Structure 1
Amino acid sequence: MTIRPTILVIRTERELRWIGHLVIPGIFDGEHGFVIEPAGENRVRLIQRETFKGLLVPFSGSLLGNTKRSFSKMNLALKERVEQAN
């Protein structure tokens, strides 16, 4: 299955957000984004958000749990990589 997301927001070095739909909008939609905020000298905070909407969302509990765990792993890997570069 291929999902072709639509870019909603691009703010250089600050935010990237997009939305993707499963088959057609309203069945299972996911809006995903990253925000980078200053957090002190030589520090930033990465905020990752995912919002799901649609008719199938109430029936996708295990999928959403797996997605959350995968994003947490990705965030940790990114944190480790960035900290090693310094």
Structure 2
Amino acid sequence: MITTEIKTAILIHAKPQQVWKILIDFDNYPKWNPFIKSLRGEVKVGNQITVQIAPPDANGMTFKPKVLAFEKNKEFRWIGRLLFSGIFDGEHQFELVDNGDGTTTLLQSEKFKGILVPFLKGQLNNNTKRGFVLMNEKIKELAENEL
């Protein structure tokens, strides 16, 4: 199976609890989030949610991933599939690392696999990755300005 992964990280001068509060405030995503335009549904492990993304300079899409992990102040992870498994699967993860000094490292990543990955790799490594970076920067700005 063909795979690729996008990884981003940003240091935020705020505690994980503050970063988490912004990350899970899904109702406000349309107001500030440059990448994930909306996230709806009951977010808990095993549930399906509805996510609308809009990568920079690319077509947006809406999909219905399944929540794999939702651990307060630590991790939020889901898996989405195009049609069915093996075509184009994406496992998205937000991880908050408490650096123990009042700062948090936000890691946002996604592992893609499936037969369409080679055809979408350029877009993933450019537009999608830029979307991750823009979202990370906005979370940093919001968290640091609330202190």
1:32 to 92, 116, 119: 92
Q: Which residue is 1:71 aligned to?
A: 132
CA distance in 2, matches of 1:2, 1:22: 10
Q: Distance in 2 between matches of 1:24 and 1:3?
A: 12
1:33-56 deviations in Å (ceiling 9; x for gaps): 111111133221111111100000
Aligned partners of 1:83 and 1:12: how far apart in 2?
19
State how many pairs are aligned: 86
> Any unmatched runs of 5+ in structure 2?
1-60
Deviation at 1:25, TM superposition (A): 1.1
What is the aligned-residue RMSD (CA, Å)?
1.3
Return the TM-score normalized by structure 1.
0.91
Which letter maps to 1:52? F
Structure 1, unaligned runs of 5 or more: none
TM-score (norm 2): 0.55
Identity %: 47
Equivalent residues in 2 for 1:49-64, closer than 5 Å? 49-64=109-124
